Every structure is written in structure tokens, then in C-alpha cells.
Amino acid sequence: MKFLDQAKIYIRSGAGGNGCIAFRREKFIEFGGPNGGDGGKGGDVWVECVQNLNTLIDYRYQQHFFAENGTPGMGQNRAGPNGKDCTIKVPPGTQVFAEDGETLLADMTTPGQRVRLAKGGNGGFGNAYFKSATNQAPRHANPGQPPEEMTIWLKLKLIADAGLVGLPNAGKSTFLAAVSAAKPKIADYPFTTLHPNLGVVRAGDVDFVLADIPGLIEGAHDGAGLGDRFLGHVERCRVLLHLVDVTSEDVAADYKTIRRELKAYGNGIEKKKEIVALSKCDAVDEATLLERRDILKKASRKTPLILSAVSGQGVKEALYAIAREISRANTAEEDADAEAPGPWQP
């Protein structure tokens, strides 16, 4: 299945059915009177979050979604049926934006969540509705209300607890494959990963979802390389694991390059808790490893972890460090919810 995290679609609700102008015409009934029915309501357009989706690829091949129109009213006081709703199913983590790409209409995070995007037009009243003692033969009815139509953007931000960041070929995909059942593409050239990958990881009693995004390079916020469009997938992460290739000639420059790109992207990513690790540590000798660890420690102002996804060195320590940060974040959220004032009661 191909991965697609952005889609532009056009939606339109249903128009309301027109009211009917009709009169009873039956034998032996001298004064029939009006009996025109009301028109049916047009269908609504809903967006629904469903569990078993992880891409927006369906909306590459279909971009127009219409709800049914309401049926006009009929004689003998028969109301027109309502139009059927149109439901757009999206994976968890999808945000719905207006055509400008900035106005947020809905944030779909929980399976089963439903939001109405376009309301169907109400059906018009038939002439029977206007019957009164002073107007016993009304000859007018209401038309149905027009539909609502708009162009919207669907943008998927994968829901993961932890995210992997780093330069291309820093070992992110290898690490994900080593700690989970995910099978990302792994090769000895840059930009092997072309779309985000998810893996479920277990560390002790804690299960969490780990996201691997395509590597960043200098100038990614200006579109260099694959750009920074995939950084949206780590916006919801609680912690970032920043991998730095120990075989690089300047590990400090590599680290600072990624930090600059995270800061340029914004949206709070640069403020997230970060765990720094030197990857591919089985590829250098002990003296080189210690030297570059000290250089990276000075640049990042934190002690980096030493790991190798191939040999397994330091992998368990990295997973437990991620699990601890996730548990702390969950505890902080629970405390904040507990301290939040409840609804006011008189």
C-alpha cells in the first residue's frame, strides 16, 4: 500500500427538496383543501476517524464527494425522503483544513470520532403547512435550501509516542527494524526512506509506537532533499531519539544541522524531550568512539547513548530511556487533567 499524507478534495452536501403545491381532488369531497407535502432534507458530509487506516491513498483517485439531495414533497401530504449522508473515512491523526490550508476544521485523533463538515439544506414546506383559517387555499410553497460546498485539505500526522530524527543514513531504519517487527527499506545510500514507517516496541512493561521519518539535510526547511514535510509526523510524539552517525567526520555539525532544521520548522518540535545517541558504534574503534562521544556531549550538552542496531549494543538502554520519558509525559498529562477545574455547578 502506498503512503500518502496529504490530499485535496471537494465536498458538497445535499440540497433540500422543494415543497409541493397540491390540492385534494376526490369524488364526493366538496372542499378538498391543500395537501402538498414538505421536501426532504439534503444529506450531510461527515468525516469519520476509523481504526484500520494509515494512509490517505484512497483520496488520490477520488477527489469529489457528494451527499444526496432531498426529494421534493408530493401530493396527499407525502413528505420527500431525506438524502443520504456522505461519510469520508480517515485514519487517526488526520487534520482537516479549509482551502487556505491554515484554518483547522477538525482534528481526528480517536477512532469513532465524527465531525460534520457540510450541512445539508433543509427541505421546503409544502402548501399544506401554510393552511390556516384565513388562508384556506395557499398556493405557494418553500423551495429547498441550497447545499454547502467547499474544498478541503486532509493532512495526516501519524500518532506515535516516540520519533527518530537524524541525517540520511544515520541508522534510523536499521534501529526501527531491530527493535520492532517493522520492515523499512535499508540500503547504503542516502534517502532510502521515502515515507514514514511505524513500529510497535516493547520495553519492559511499556509498549509504545516508534516513528521513523525520512532523513533531514541542511536547508530542509527550504525544500532541500525531501524537505521537512514529514516532520509533521513527529509533532504528536512525546520524545525524540536523535541518532548521529559515529562514522561522520564532524558529529557536532551533524547534530547542530538537525537542531537548526527542527527549530526552523517550529510547531514546538524543537522543545520536545530529546535523547541523543551515537549510532553504528560497531564501525569504529574504541578511541574514536570515545573521542566523538565527548565532542557530541559538548555540542548537545547531554551525555549521548552509545548504540549499534546491528550488534545490539546499547539498544535496550535506548528503549528503556524512551519508555521512561513517555511514562513521565503520561504522568504529567494525568496530573494536569486532575488539577484542571471541573464544570461549574451552582
Q: Is 285 helix (H, G, I), strand (E, B) or coil?
A: coil
Identify the domain boundary among 94, 121, 156.
156
Percent of the chain at pLDDT exceeding 90? 32
Domain shared by 108 and 194, yes or no: no
- Tell me what pLDDT residue 80 has: 93
- 170 is annotated as contributing to ligand binding: yes
Specify whether the CB–CB gap between 211 and 175 falls below 8 A: no
Confidence category of residue 1, pLDDT binned at 50, 70, 90: very low
Whether the per-residue pLDDT at 212 is higher than 90: the answer is no
- Tell me what pLDDT residue 249 has: 85
- Tell me what pLDDT residue 340 has: 57
Give the pLDDT confidence of 26-57 residue by residue, as tens digits: 887 777 889 999 999 999 999 999 988 878 88
What average pLDDT does this structure show over 146-165?
A: 89
- Tell me what pLDDT residue 226 has: 66
Domain shared by 188 and 77, yes or no: no
Which structural domain, as residue segments, surrounds residue 106?
Answer: 1-156
- Supply the mean pLDDT for the chain: 86
CATH of the domain at 128: 2.70.210.12
Whether the per-residue pLDDT at 148 is higher than 70: the answer is yes
Cα dist from 145 to 45, 117, 169, 206, whole Å: 16, 17, 57, 53
Domain shared by 121 and 204, yes or no: no
Identify the domain boundary among 156, 171, 192.
156
Specify whether the CB–CB gap between 32 and 128 falls below 8 A: no
- 166 is annotated as contributing to ligand binding: yes
- 185 is annotated as contributing to ligand binding: no
Whether the per-residue pLDDT at 178 is higher than 60: the answer is yes
- 242 is annotated as contributing to ligand binding: no
- Tell me what pLDDT residue 128 has: 92
Give the pLDDT confidence of 76-112 residue by residue, as tens digits: 999 999 999 999 999 888 999 999 988 999 999 889 9
Domain shared by 247 and 128, yes or no: no
What average pLDDT does this structure show over 317-339?
A: 79
Classify each residue of 262-301 as buried b or exposed e, where b means 16 or more C-beta atoms within 10 Å of its C-beta: beebeeebeebebbbbbbbbeeeeeeebeebbebbbebbe
- Tell me what pLDDT residue 167 has: 86
- 214 is annotated as contributing to ligand binding: yes
| Full-model pTM | 0.75
Give me the amino acid identity at 176: L
What average pLDDT does this structure show over 219-233?
A: 72
Confidence category of residue 336, pLDDT binned at 50, 70, 90: low
- 215 is annotated as contributing to ligand binding: yes
- 172 is annotated as contributing to ligand binding: yes
Identify the domain boundary among 139, 156, 173.
156
Give the pLDDT confidence of 249-295 residue by residue, as tens digits: 888 998 898 888 888 887 788 888 888 988 888 888 888 888 888 99
- 272 is annotated as contributing to ligand binding: no
- 280 is annotated as contributing to ligand binding: yes
What average pLDDT does this structure show over 183-204?
A: 76
CATH of the domain at 167: 3.40.50.300
Give me the amino acid identity at 243: L
Confidence category of residue 65, pLDDT binned at 50, 70, 90: very high
- 168 is annotated as contributing to ligand binding: yes
